[in-house]
Amino acid sequence: MKKRNQRTEMDLLYRPGTGNVLTLLAAISFQFMIILLPLVGPAGAVAPHARLNLITYLAVLFLTMGLSGVALYSKMKRRQVDASGFPYISAALLAGTFLFLFALVAGLFRI
């Protein structure tokens, strides 16, 4: 019997293209999240459908957070395999998403 590679389940995460595609999707989602920012801004917060605006924005925010988190995880796993550089863009996307979540929870967008 032939011996198989030990990381068959995680093989997709170790490919360089996977982290790049996930980072690209996270960046597109981040841009879309910025486009939707008026939903939770001063005008959107006083609209009759403000709760739906907030739910929509939170859904996009958590989608962006998930994509950027998985992208960072994938690139860090790839970094363990081939000692590639630190994924600054993926980390910045995740940090930016957390910053937007903090600003939303703190009510800084309604000013």
Residue pLDDT, tens place only, 82-109: 888 899 999 999 999 999 999 999 988 8
Say if 55 falls within a structural domain: yes
Q: How many folded domains does the chain comprise?
A: 1
Say if 52 falls within a structural domain: yes
What's the pTM value of the predicted model, to 2 decimals? 0.83
Say if 7 falls within a structural domain: no
Say if 30 falls within a structural domain: yes
Say if 73 falls within a structural domain: yes
DSSP notation for the chain: -PPPPTTSTTHHHHSHHHHHHHHHHHHHHHHHHHHTGGGGSHHHHSSTTHHHHHHHHHHHHHHHHHHHHHHHHHHHHHHHHH-----HHHHHHHHHHHHHHHHHHHTGGG-
Range of the domain at 102: 17-110
Say if 5 falls within a structural domain: no
Say if 91 falls within a structural domain: yes
Residue pLDDT, tens place only, 11-60: 787 787 888 999 999 999 999 999 999 988 888 888 888 899 999 999 99
Say if 74 falls within a structural domain: yes
